[in-house]
Amino acid sequence: MDAMSSGGSEHVGAERIVAERIDDHQGGDNRGGDPGGGDNRGGDRQGTIERRSAGAAMGQPVRRWDTVAKLRGETRFVDDLPRAGVLVGGTVRSPVPHGRLLGLRFDPAFDWSTVTVVTARDIPGENVCPIVYRDQPVLAFDRVRYCGDPVALIAAEDEETLQRALDAVAVDIEPLASLFDARSAELPPEATVVSAAPPVYGTNNLYRRIEINKGNASEALAKAAVVVEGEYETGAQEHLYLEPQGMQAEREGGGIVLRGSMQCPYYLVEAVAVNLGIPESQVRVVPCAAGGGFGGKEDFPSLLAGHAALLAWKSGRPVRMVYERVEDIRYTSKRHPAWIRHRTGFTADGRLAGMEVELLLDGGAYSTLSPLVLQRAAVHAAGPYACDHVRIDARVVATNHPPRGAFRGFGGPQAAFAMETHLDRCATRLGLDPVELRRRNLVRPGDTLATGQTLGADGNVRTVLDRALAESRFVERRAACAAFNAAADTRTGATRFHRRGIGLSCFMHGTGLNGNAEGFFRSRVFIDATENGRFRVSTSQIELGQGTETIVAQLAAEGLGVSLDGIELAPLDTAVTPNSGPTVASRTAAVIGRLLIEAGRRLRTRVEQFHGGPLADESEFRAAAARLAAAGATREVAEYTPPPGFAWDEARHRGDAYLGFSWGCYVVELEVDLLTGETRPLDITAVQDIGCVVNPMLASGQVEGGVVQALGWALMETAVWRDGQMVNANMTDYVIPTAVDVPPIHVVFLEQPLERLPHGAKGLGELPHEGPAPAIANALRHALGRDFNAIPITPETILASQD
């Protein structure tokens, strides 16, 4: 599988088998040897894959590992921890979006001896939340930069006392002019102080600028036969994980322990050690079950952990901080709003000659993860297309909005919306079918992307496009939509005002962390043999609902060559758990999967060496492992190092931006009501190549959930901002899709293995958020004959576009 040629031939074989399996499904599914496969897993409902592995567990639709306790209501999330003896913590916040903090006044009528108060002066360590740049204080001390910027913390015996105490603090602020428009945020270099207010960040409000250059785009555009320009805009999106942010801190010995909802336990170890001024060895993080994250629990829990820890440190008591929904929506991060401009040149026959992309993100008041979100947005900005001359100029700027942060896709969905909506407009200008335009320009194995990254045998995106066209019966459905619209005037009643359209998008998502970051983290996993004949697996990957525990077990079983029955997962506790890096960036199946397979294979070799020969029989193998465990330590450690040949030049943004890319092609058919502007998706086909499907049941769940989250982003989720504050910060006014809003979603997986990894897996979690929005915009364009260059596309915007 290491050689490109063999990988390529394997892929062809896998393709054929996928098609055959779909035929099987129509005649009755007998996967897993269970004839009762039944209606909830028929071919049209469940993702179909061909498992490449010879292992026992990988590729099987095994049950979720965490399910039974969740179904019984027994799983303990942070808010379910016992409350006895635990103080409740709350936050005093800035009432204005920008200002100089003059001081805090504590109402003498309140008995302050009954509560614990922490201000910036009480921070024993550094007053900084360490994410990337270290510009965000844990508590503001001289300036406040967004409405809700924390300025003090209070812990009380009960909610009522806490509320009275919070109400008894007045925050004195000299307001400064606020900056809300990202498009005018960046100040010219060497700016002589013309602005009434100091910059929100640095000297010019620019968090980061990334330029990616391949060939000579401006020259290519000047020579191009056709040049198409366009501007695209996407809005902020709220994660709306169903479990709000929550953290509990408690002193323990000379250190502190944190329990809560998070994606990255080791981020908290660093943050709290920095804030308290203690060694990282004195900070222990024991995550609770987490009720969804979607990126929203990547960076923010570091800040919240700092807050809870400071209160626990000063009070000497356990302190819990669980946000109510309004506080969570108002003051935690959102998806970055984006403004993206394309200038694209084509040859006369519709081949890409040159691409220029300018991309701007509103990063909000502190940088948090913005520098990295920008990087992913920039790398994805030119899409999965082959073009020799590309220039991408991407910036993320500071404003006085609450900090923007990680959200499923991490800048990729914004880039994909612009690229794919733009391409349909280009097709019209070129007089080409949008499908044909893509087919002519999609990358192939051996092509390079914008950063110069050369694609391996898995880089065949046409396969994904072709499959999506076939699965969705695209050409036939497109004709049917046109016929439906042409016959509108012959109908009576409401459907006379209905129009239909179908659209598609091709997109990609880089696997794992960008560039050298995976190498920087040097993720580690452990597998131990136990005396009871099982294998105990330790990682710091978090189960957020996406199925991490289950696939970690499957991947370890794959490496060991045992059934799942032989696997145990060690509870996560940073005191003993190795740092396998954050649970982000669609990295678990691919990056951690590689480590689990490596550790498993090595442990098998050790057991067999101990035994004195190969052990094909599982029970004999496990018995030998138990004997080895009884004889002494059996820990196998696998640590990440970049695969041979992987090279990324961070300074120039050249080379291998990611380990590899997953590819997708989504098709959306929809109906619009011309009278009310309502859009009703009728059918969604989601075809993706993720290299290796570890668990098809969980994988299709990722796609279905991601598609619906993106559908909300595209059609209804509108964050309304007034003076830098989100005014619809509750679940009455910020609406997300319900069960009634969702059409049938047909999920298909292809497996073109990534040669750099032993199991070939590429990332999945974020990919599904990239495809739906542009496919919807393109379908609306097909239905109504007008461009939709900004999302969300609400009924009102559709009606306004008709005027």
Partner 1 sequence: MRNFDYAAPTSLAEAASLLARAPGTARVLAGGTDLIVQLRENVREADLVVDVKRIPELTELAYSAGTGLHLGASTPCYRIYEDPAVSAAYPALADAARIIGGWQISSRASVGGNLCNSSPAGDSLAPLLALDARCVIVGLDGTREVAAADFCTAPGRNVLAKGELLAKLVFPAPAPKASSAYERFIPRNEMDIAVAGASSWVQLNAAGDTIIDARVALSAVAPTVRLATAANRWLVGQPAVEATFERAGELARESASPISDMRGTVEFRRHLVGVLVKRTLATAVARALAGE
Partner 2 sequence: MSKKLHVTTTVNGEAVEFLCEPRQSLLEVLRETMRLTGAKEGCNNGNCGACTVLMNGVPVNSCIVLAVEAEGAKLETVEGLADHGHLHPLQSCFLEGAALQCGICTPGFLVTAKALLDRNPNPSEHEIRFQLANNLCRCTGYDKIVRAVQAAAAELRATKACGAGGSGTVGHADAGCGGPAVAGPAKTT
DSSP class of residue 349 equals: T
From the list partner 1, partner 2, none, partner contacted by residue 294 (C-beta under 5 to 8 A by kind) = partner 2
Distance between CA 669 and CA 500 in Å, rounded? 7
Identity of the residue, 605 or 676, whose beta carbon is nearer to partner 1 in the bound complex: 676
Q: Read out DSSP for 365-434?
A: SS-TTHHHHHHHHHHHTTTTB--S-EEEEEEEE--SSPPP---TTTTHHHHHHHHHHHHHHHHHHHT--H
SS3 15: helix
Q: Within 10 A of 324 (CB to CB), how many other CB atoms are there?
A: 10
Q: How many H helices and E strands in the chain?
A: 19, 28
Closest Cα partner for 539 from 587, 604, 601?
Answer: 587
Nearest distance in Å: CB 263, partner 2: 12
CB of 248 to partner 2, least distance (A): 14
Residues 687-726 that bind partner 1 (CB under 8 A): 716, 718, 720
Size of the chain, expressed as the number of residues it contains: 803
Of 213 and 794, CB closest to partner 1? 794
Coil, helix or strand for 667?
Answer: strand
CB of 69 to partner 2, least distance (A): 8
Complex with partner 2: residue 151 or 560, whichever CB lies closer: 560
List binders of partner 1 among 741-760 (CB under 8 A). 741
Q: Is 242 helix (H, G, I), strand (E, B) or coil?
A: coil
Strands (E), 542-660: 567-569, 636-639, 648-649, 654-655
737 binds partner 1 (CB under 8 A): yes
Of 479 and 675, the one with the shorter C-beta distance to partner 1 is: 675
Choose from partner 1, partner 2, none: what does 707 bind? Cβ within 5-8 Å by kind. Answer: partner 2
Instruction: Give, for 252, the enclosing helix (H) or strand (E).
Output: strand 246-252
Tokens of 643: 């695969």
Residue 174 binding partner 1, by CB under 8 A:
no
Of the residues 735, 743, 784, 790, which one makes contact with partner 1 according to CB under 8 A: 735
Q: Least Å distance between CB 725 and partner 1?
A: 13
Q: Which of 373, 372, 368, 410 is nearest to 131 (CA)?
A: 368
Q: How far is the CB of 681 from partner 2 (least distance, A)?
A: 12
Exposed, middle or buried, 799 (CB in 10 Å: 0-12/13-18/19+)?
A: middle
> Quick one: DSSP state of residue 588?
I
Query: Which one of partner 2, partner 1, none is in contact with 493 (Cβ closer than 5 to 8 A by kind)?
Result: partner 1
Residue 799 site contact among partner 2, partner 1, none (CB < 5 to 8 Å, cut-off depends on kind): partner 1
Report, in Å, the least distance between residue 295 CB and partner 1.
23
Shorter beta-carbon distance to partner 2: residue 636 or 704: 704
The partner residues of 396 in beta bridges, in order of sequence, read 208, 361
Closer to partner 2 by CB, 230 or 768: give it.
Answer: 768
3-state SS, residue 67: helix
Indicate the burial class of 571 (C-beta count within 10 angstroms; 0-12, 13-18, 19 or more): exposed
Which of partner 2, partner 1, none is residue 675 near (CB under 5 to 8 Å by kind)? Answer: partner 1
**Residue type for 458, please?**
D
Judged by beta carbon, residue 168 or residue 686, the one nearer partner 2 is: 686
End-to-end Cα separation, the chain, in angstroms: 58
Q: Which does 3 bind (CB under 5 to 8 A by kind): partner 1, partner 2, none?
A: none
Alpha carbons 290 and 303: distance in angstroms, whole number: 17
Q: Which is nearer to partner 1, 20 or 796 (CB)?
A: 796
- Other beta carbons within 10 Å of 236: 23
How near is the Cβ of 265 to partner 2 at its closest, in Å?
16
- Phi and psi, residue 592, nearest 5°: -70, -35
Q: Which of 676, 723, 744, 785 binds partner 1 (CB under 8 A)?
A: 676
Rule CB under 8 A: is residue 196 a binding residue for partner 1? no
Residue count at the site for partner 1 (CB under 8 A)? 22
Largest CA distance in the chain: 83
Q: Which is nearer to partner 1, 505 or 718 (CB)?
A: 718
When CB distances are held under 5 to 8 angstroms depending on the partner's kind, the choice from partner 1, partner 2, none that residue 434 binds is none
Residue 683 makes contact with partner 1 by CB under 8 A: no
CB atoms within 10 A of CB 490: 7
Contact 310, 138 (CB under 8 A): yes
Name the minimum Å distance from CB 722 to partner 2: 20
Which of the stretches 186-194, 432-440, 469-477, 727-735 binds partner 1 when contact is defined by CB under 8 A? 727-735
What three-state secondary structure class fits 680? Answer: strand
- Contact (Cβ atoms closer than 8 angstroms) between residue 717 and residue 733: no
| Residue 358 tokens, joined | 């300018």
For partner 2, which is the closer residue by CB, 120 or 703? 703
- 796 part of the interface to partner 1, by CB under 8 A: yes
From partner 1, partner 2, none, which one binds at residue 727 (CB under 5 to 8 Å depending on kind)?
partner 1
Name the binder of 716 from partner 2, partner 1, none, CB < 5-8 A by kind. partner 1
- Pair 714, 772: CB distance under 8 Å: yes
Q: Could you tell me which stretch among 139-147, 340-348, 627-635, 731-739 binds partner 1 (CB under 8 A)? A: 731-739
Of the candidates 136, 99, 98, which has an alpha carbon nearest to the alpha carbon of residue 120?
A: 136
Given partner 2, partner 1, none, residue 704, with its beta carbon under 5 to 8 Å by kind, binds partner 2
Please give the residues from 44 up to 73 whose contact with partner 1 meets the rule CB under 8 A: none
Please, which residue, 159 or 219, has the CB nearer to partner 1? Answer: 159
**Binders of partner 1 in range 455-514 (CB under 8 A):** 492-494
Does residue 516 bind partner 1 (CB under 8 A)?
no
Nearer to partner 2, 567 or 750 (CB): 567
- E strands, 254-389, are 255-260, 283-285, 319-322, 338-346, 352-362
- For the bound state, the minimum distance from the C-beta of residue 492 to partner 1, rounded and expressed in Å, comes to 8
- Using rule CB under 8 A, residue 799 touches partner 1: yes
**Residue 318 or 383: which CB sits closer to partner 2?**
318
> In sequence order, what DSSP letters do the residues of 142-207 get, joined into one string?
SEE-STT-EEEEEEESSHHHHHHHHHTEEEEEEE------GGGTPPPTT--S-SSS--SSTTTSEE
> Which of 493/632 has CB closer to partner 1?
493
Partner that binds at residue 796, options partner 2, partner 1, none, CB closer than 5 to 8 Å by kind = partner 1
- Rounded least distance, CB 738 to partner 2, Å: 4
**Chain contacts with partner 1 (rule: CB under 8 A):** 492-494, 675-676, 678, 716, 718, 720, 727-728, 732-733, 735, 737-738, 740-741, 794-796, 799
